[in-house]
Structure 1
Amino acid sequence: MDNELYFELGLGTRMRRLIEMLTNGMEKVYADQGIEFRTGHFYALYAIVERGPLTINEIAGLAGFSHSAVSQTIKRLISLDIFETQPTDDGRQKRVHLTENGKRVVEKLHPTWAAVEAVVKDAIHEGGVDFLAAITGVENAFRRQSVYDRLQEKLMAPKAQGRFEIVPYHVRWRDDFKDLNLWWLKKYFRVEPIDERVLADPEGDILDHGGEIYFAVVDGMAVGTVAMKNMGDGVFELTKLGVNPEVQQGGMGRALCQTIIDRFQARGGKLLFLETNTILTPAIKLYEKLNFVERPFPTESPYERANYYMVWEPDS
């Protein structure tokens, strides 16, 4: 396109332009064939066709869309007699199925979908780039660290007096280890006996048992901390993550957690886990970006506040 205006900054505009090209062509074909179907509904129908009956949460996970957006699409396809829902075995959710009419619609759509796939492949070949690989790469980058977090990191960097560095435990920061954790514990929960023991003697409770403690330091001041407890037999716990809320440094919590992951791998660990609480939504989102996934508690937690157990899984 001559005189192109939109490049990296206008990536969203470029993607929307491409979507409109695809949408306009496909919907004209649907209309020509007398099929009442919108391209915006494709992701939901295709998920059911390829994977079988799914819950709304499962469809949202596959498409990467919000639950509310997927729910609206499902309602529309139900109104068109393409989808129906049935309760799951435990009755807690509804699973989306194709209706008999939906199956007939899919049969009509298959030839068009095959043609669309061929046309897109031809266009990608003409473009001379591995377009899908490029999209996947960008998506994966934003899954690892969201657009918002990346922007915050860029915008906050000029406000900081100096970039933070991650350093191992030193006795000079013992009180900071305690204070940084007490801040969030008192804000959201209560300080439990196990917290008091660990925070009063991090050397004896963590370091002497083969654990590690790290600090994020700015201009000689500890403004963030995290620990890795050695539970034995190659099992480690990421714990005691705390960051000074007054320090505007994007990416500090992520860097602290990544340090623990790196140390866990360097030591040949078998399992890295953490325990948290569902009210700490930003923390859980951070953990998910770092490849922590929810799992059932294997044993009862020593923390009363813990109601969410996560395990780190490396990239496959």
Structure 2
Amino acid sequence: MVDPHAPDPTQESLWRPLRLLQASMDADIARIYAKKRITGLKPSFVMELLRLHAGGPMTITELAESVNRTHSALSQKVAAMREAGWVQTVEGDDARSKKVTLTDEARGIVGRLAAEWRATEAAIAEIEAEIPYPLSQVVADIEQALARKSFHDRIAEKLAEDPAWD
């Protein structure tokens, strides 16, 4: 039974500030697109669109591998990009397979997307130079800590100590 007076554990979060920061930065990128009248483009689509431009049509599996995502995650993203008009699927090497390719609209802005990618990376490098401990170093340090003990194992240990998990 749930205790109606128990505190809400979601009121505290070490991850929330990072998620909010990324959402804010993505919103700023979206504002850049809006000023160029590029509508329906999410910043989260850009890597895949640039990969398709550079590598040509790919299956969802190939695209997922190229951006280090799961097939399921990329399948959902491709559906969203197709709905927004940035990609389409075409017949693959055999009748059973499909490949994802850019639409004419996406091909028309890919140069701008590459410019935005370069500008974003340069802006992040500028920010990292201004702060005492760059986020890229934080990520590397977290990866090293997780190599010593996985996130899964850390959570499992904490759950083993919590009687509410039983």
Does the TM-score normalized on the shorter chain lie above 0.5?
A: yes
Structure 1 CA distance, aligned partners of 2:88 and 2:43? 19
- The question of 1:77 aligning with 2:81 is answered yes
Structure 2 CA distance, aligned partners of 1:91 and 1:128? 55
- The question of 1:107 aligning with 2:123 is answered no
Residue of structure 2 aligned with 1:31, choices 31, 34, 51: 34
1:82 touches 1:105 (CA, 8 Å); kept in 2?
A: no
1:152-193 Cα offsets, whole Å, 9 max, x none, are 14433799xxxxxxxxxxxxxxxxxxxxxxxxxxxxxxxxxx
Q: 1:145 to 1:106 in 2, by over 3 A?
A: farther
- The question of 1:19 aligning with 2:22 is answered yes
Backbone CA RMSD of aligned residues:
3.1
Structure 2: 5+ residue stretches without partners: 1-11
Structure 1 CA distance, aligned partners of 2:64 and 2:76? 11
Larger helix proportion, structure 1 or 2? 2
Structure 1 CA distance, aligned partners of 2:95 and 2:131? 49
Partner of residue 259, structure 1: none
Larger strand proportion, structure 1 or 2? 1
Partner of residue 52, structure 2: 48
- Which structure would you say has the larger Rg? 1
Counterpart code for 1:20 = A
Q: 1:117 to 1:158 in 2, by over 3 A?
A: closer
Counterpart code for 2:38 = I
Partner of residue 8, structure 2: none
Identity among equivalent positions (%) equals 28
Structure 1: 5+ residue stretches without partners: 1-8, 160-316
Q: 1:104 to 1:149 in 2, by over 3 A?
A: same
Q: 1:133 to 1:65 in 2, by over 3 A?
A: same
Shift of 1:11: 3.8
Structure 1 CA distance, aligned partners of 2:151 and 2:65? 18
**Secondary structure of 1:86 counterpart:** strand
Structure 2 CA distance, aligned partners of 1:139 and 1:94? 35
1:171-230 Cα offsets, whole Å, 9 max, x none, are xxxxxxxxxxxxxxxxxxxxxxxxxxxxxxxxxxxxxxxxxxxxxxxxxxxxxxxxxxxx
- For CA contacts below 8 A with separation 6 or more, give which structure has more relative contact order: 2
**Secondary structure of 1:34 counterpart:** coil
- The question of 1:58 aligning with 2:37 is answered no
